[in-house]
Structure 1
């Protein structure tokens, strides 16, 4: 029950933080959403900030699991897996609002130190998954993938997410075009 309750609090907090942000969300609202007293939240989390960071970490862990399932999908071709991976990144502003907000905070230099650590963890895990995926895929052709290449893909795909959103200010269809160019570039690099 304690882990279930903690998980319930985090899931409720994720919805609130995604909708209203850290500063506008109150613990009273989170408690009311799941019909518990605010004191119950304090039993699991020392502060609203601690709950926020736990919620961000939870969302990052879920994102990593989704990346893993996309990259290990059976019966999918390499380019299809990479296409799905990039689509996942493009949709992060709708599906993973806390990650999106944390990345924005980092870019404008307004993120908390713990927030930076969690996003750093996310990028590291994502890079490890991509490295494993590429190494497994190319095991016959190469012995070991340089750690720089998966990092390059991870960081540039996040950069592509932001540039794609900016590009829609110029052309509405820019999203599909940017994704296509990125996938084609990866295909050339990987073949």
Structure 2
């Protein structure tokens, strides 16, 4: 007998594959149920509708991404390399789940409470990861930072601001294209390099 947590995870994984390949609009709850040989009623037992399932899948893939980065960042000695690794992984994440993420702006309106929790948790995780990288720079003598948490928050705001600066409002197209995300990565790397350079420990 499969326990409830395992069933929920199976549903999230199946929905993730569907959403990532076809996008949300072209995926139905019936198709996800069919992929799993589950009844539609079982899916609705765990998730009241497709939007709620989408929010849960988004949270699921974001958590997986941060787990991957958290496992690697401690193994990178140089804080600049760690920062560039994280930025590269962010764009890799966007590329892998572009069809899934493209709906995120609309989902905020459809399931505001669920999406607010997902986005807030993601922001906290990202801020924590940036703080770890800054702390690595302090521990290795590369950086001098008075308040790590504050510096991580400032850096996060700058990174997020660069993402949103690319958002469009032309014919309802609000989500950046893949090419625009590539441009965001270039700009973010340049900005992060400048930010870290400003925190470099002065030579004795």
Residue 10 (structure 1) aligned to one of 6, 9, 12: 12
Provide the C-alpha distance between the structure 2 equivalents of 1:117 and 1:151, rounded to a whole number of angstroms: 18
Using the alignment, how far apart are the partners of 1:143 and 1:77 within structure 2?
16
Cα gap change, 1:127 to 1:18, in 2 (>3 Å): same
Q: Which has the higher contact order (CA 8 A, sep 6+)?
A: 2
Structure 2 CA distance, aligned partners of 1:12 and 1:168? 28
Deviation at residue 118 of structure 1 after TM alignment? 0.9
TM-score computed with the length of structure 2 as normaliser: 0.72
Shift of 1:181: 1.8
CA distance in 1, matches of 2:43, 2:177: 39
> Are the equivalent residues in 2 in contact too, given 1:13–1:30 (CA < 8 A)?
yes
Partner of 1:112: 111
The gaps in structure 2 that reach 5 residues or longer are 167-175
Shift of 1:175: 6.2
SS in 1 for 2:48: coil
Cα distance per residue 1:12-68 (max 9 Å; x no partner): 111222334434321101011222221222333233233222212111211221232
State the SS of the aligned residue for 2:24.
Answer: helix
TM-score (norm 1): 0.76
2:134 counterpart residue number: 134
1:85 corresponds to 2:86: yes
Question: What is the CA-CA distance between 1:99 and the residue it aligns to?
Answer: 4.3
Q: CA deviation at 1:75?
A: 4.3
Distance 1:27 1:105, change over 3 A: closer
Instruction: Let me know the Cα RMSD of the aligned residues.
Output: 3.1
